[in-house]
Amino acid sequence: MPRKTIKDNLRKNTNLCIFCCRKIPSDSPCCETCSFMLKIQPHEQKLSNGCPCISALRYEGQYRTAILKYKSGGQFKIIHKSYSLVLNRTISKLYDNIEFDYYTGVPTYKKFFHFDQVTPLAKETARLRNSEFKPLLCQSKKKKTQHLLDSAGRESNVKNIFKCLDENDVKGKTILLFDDVVTTGSTLTECSNELLRNGAAKVYCVTVNW
């Protein structure tokens, strides 16, 4: 087999453990050694605009360390497959009876180099669930890092910075919106408001951590 094909197969059939980044079979989000650490307890909340938001894992301890590693990008590129397995289980538990027209992600600002960790998550989860991923939003200006701000600062930091790409893709649609972490929910609230303003029938959110 040519070297490139072997490499491709390895990429396709392999996940990395979300905790220790060891290579593991493609049907599991973490290795056997770390499996005691993975307890998926899906959590449901409502954003301030009433949109439902579900999350898979707490944003603390081993889960926080793991997602920060993922967000730092680069060498952990294929770890999104493991997180998609976690999200798939969470969606199956809490949103299983909902028919989504599109899966989409909270956008990142394109003019600056920024590892986009959300699109691969949303795309891979859509693939696992035979659903369609579509970019529906863009970010029109750079924002400050949300976690350095207090609640009011976070809200004004993201105010009106997300724009709908094409209202024809959104009108009347039921949309599943992805992000990596929800804390105050201000980013997801702004994004879902923009989709609703452009005629979305309903917006549901899903994140890895909460």
Of 39, 73, 69, nearest to 56 by C-alpha is 39
Nearer to Zn ion, 8 or 32 (CB): 32
Q: Which two tokens stand for residue 75?
A: 């060498």
- Closest distance to Zn ion from the beta carbon of 118 (Å): 23
Residues that bind Zn ion (CB under 5 A): 17, 19-20, 31, 34
The C-alpha angle with vertex 24 and arms to 18 and 28, in degrees rounded to 5, equals 65
- Closest distance to Zn ion from the beta carbon of 92 (Å): 23
Greatest alpha-carbon pair distance for the chain in Å reads 57
- Closest distance to Zn ion from the beta carbon of 204 (Å): 31
Nearer to Zn ion, 29 or 105 (CB): 29
Nearer to Zn ion, 22 or 46 (CB): 22
- Closest distance to Zn ion from the beta carbon of 17 (Å): 3
How far does CA 90 lie from the centroid of its chain?
Answer: 12
- Closest distance to Zn ion from the beta carbon of 78 (Å): 14
Residue bearing tokens 């005629």: 199
Rounded CA separation 86/28 (Å): 9
Q: Which two tokens stand for residue 33?
A: 């050694």
Q: Which two tokens stand for residue 90?
A: 């969470």
Nearer to Zn ion, 81 or 129 (CB): 81
E strand or H helix at 25: strand 23-25
Nearer to Zn ion, 62 or 174 (CB): 62
